[in-house]
């Protein structure tokens, strides 16, 4: 959708409804990317009115994903990555970060967004052992038995499963904890899970909580309609059965800090937390 920035009347492109915002394209817009339509930018603008620094939080999330990938490829010796809800190709993707450390790393990207699928397939056309699968991350068994997943990854050997910025787009009725329990149960010992999620701090931090509540309402009432801010305990339950690596489930900028730390962060940047866990 590189022509997506056009301002003409909404059109249907190969089954892509440009009247409906998409999570992936709105996220791309918040990150400052070009693969989005007017309706996605409308959602972005509604969110930026409530939290002008939301772009910094999105970039923090990407930086967390890259740090975790580097750690897994370089230190943990992980060679296979299943990146669920991977989104649109961006400045540095999981396979770029993993292959900088290990040229043989295998990566499967999964997303249910049609524009992501088109971009993903085009980008990965000439890459060995890096594939894109269009699938629903909320159906673990179906995803794990997908033929492309099966031929690209060896699910009997340790792998890293990513749920980075994904589960907050699932409503409570989908029971994200049960979905994650299915994934974790299916992973072989020695596998890792990387997770980040919108965070609701609760009563301990009234100001930040008020911002989380306002942002959640904006997400849910926007035409996109998803974006739940959950508590530390709710998010920790998605990692049940794993040993969390130090420093645990923390603000994204506190996870494995290996570079200069930004100071005086805007409060909105404390509205996501993340962790990396290992299945023993
Ligand atoms: N993981 C990337 C990151 O953290 O930078 C992208 C995060 S983006 C906020 C969330 C992505 O999850 C979007 O690309 C969206 O299409 C995808 N997604 C949401 N629900 C999904 C589902 N049920 N199945 C597959 N993908 C989904």
State the distance from the centre of ligand 1 to the C-alpha of 65, rounded, in angstroms.
13
Q: What are the tens digits of pLDDT across the range 201-259?
A: 999 899 999 999 999 999 999 999 999 999 999 999 999 999 999 999 999 999 986 66
Residue pair 161/192 in contact by the 8 Å Cβ criterion: yes
Alpha carbon distance 61, 271 (integer Å): 11
pLDDT at position 259 is 63
Nearest residue CA, atom 9 of ligand 1? 165
Nearest residue CA, atom 18 of ligand 1? 85
State the distance from the centre of ligand 1 to the C-alpha of 40, rounded, in angstroms.
15
Residue pair 238/176 in contact by the 8 Å Cβ criterion: yes
Q: What are the tens digits of pLDDT across the range 66-80?
A: 999 999 999 999 999
Q: How many CA atoms lie within 13 A of 133 on its CB side?
A: 25
Could you give the ipTM of this predicted complex?
0.99
Alpha carbon distance 175, 170 (integer Å): 8
State the distance from the centre of ligand 1 to the C-alpha of 25, rounded, in angstroms.
10
Residue 42 in this model has a pLDDT that exceeds 80: yes
Q: How many C-beta neighbours within 10 Å does residue 91 have? A: 11
Q: What are the tens digits of pLDDT across the range 98-114?
A: 999 999 999 999 999 99
| Pocket-testing residue among 56, 87, 143, ligand 1, by greatest number of atoms within 8 A of Cβ | 87
Q: How many C-beta neighbours within 10 Å does residue 28 have? A: 27
Query: What are the backbone dihedrals phi and psi of residue 3, each rounded to the nearest 5 degrees, phi first?
Result: -90, 15
Domains of the chain (ranges plus CATH)?
12-50 (no CATH), 54-278 (3.40.50.150)
Percentage of the chain beyond pLDDT 70 is 92
Per-residue pLDDT, averaged over 155-163, amounts to 98
- Residue 162 alpha carbon, nearest atom of ligand 1: 1
Write the DSSP assignment of 139-183 as a string of letters: -HHHHHT-HHHHHHS-TTS--EEEEES-GGGS-GGG-HHHHHHHH
Q: What is the DSSP letter of 132?
A: E
Q: Which of 25, 96, 95, 83 is nearest to 58 (CA)?
A: 25
pLDDT level of residue 49 (50, 70, 90 thresholds): very high
pLDDT level of residue 127 (50, 70, 90 thresholds): confident
């Amino acid at each position: 959708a590189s022509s997506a920035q056009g301002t003409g009347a909404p059109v249907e492109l190969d089954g892509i409804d440009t009247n409906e915002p998409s999570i992936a394209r709105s996220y791309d817009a918040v990150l400052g990317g070009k693969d989005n339509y007017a309706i996605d930018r409308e959602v972005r603008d509604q969110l930026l009115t409530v939290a002008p620094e939301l772009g910094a939080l999105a970039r923090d999330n990407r930086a967390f994903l890259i740090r975790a990938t580097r750690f897994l490829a370089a230190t943990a010796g992980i060679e296979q990555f299943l990146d669920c809800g991977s989104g649109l190709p961006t400045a540095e993707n999981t396979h770029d970060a993993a292959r900088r450390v290990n040229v043989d790393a295998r990566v499967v990207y999964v997303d249910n967004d049609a524009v992501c699928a088109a971009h993903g397939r085009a980008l990965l056309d000439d890459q060995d052992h890096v594939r894109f699968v269009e699938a629903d991350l909320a159906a673990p068994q179906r995803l794990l038995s997908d033929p492309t997943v099966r031929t690209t990854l060896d699910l009997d050997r340790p792998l890293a499963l990513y749920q980075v910025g994904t589960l907050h787009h699932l409503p409570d009725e989908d029971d994200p904890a049960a979905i994650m329990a299915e994934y974790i149960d299916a992973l072989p010992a020695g596998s890792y899970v990387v997770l980040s999620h919108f965070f609701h701090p609760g009563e301990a931090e009234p100001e930040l909580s008020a911002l989380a509540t306002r942002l959640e309402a904006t997400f849910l009432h926007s035409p996109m309609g998803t974006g739940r801010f959950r508590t530390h305990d709710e998010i920790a339950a998605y990692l049940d059965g794993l040993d969390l690596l130090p420093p645990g489930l923390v603000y994204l900028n506190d996870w494995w800090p290996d570079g200069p730390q930004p100071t005086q962060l805007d409060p909105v940047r404390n509205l996501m937390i993340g962790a990396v866990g290992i299945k023993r």
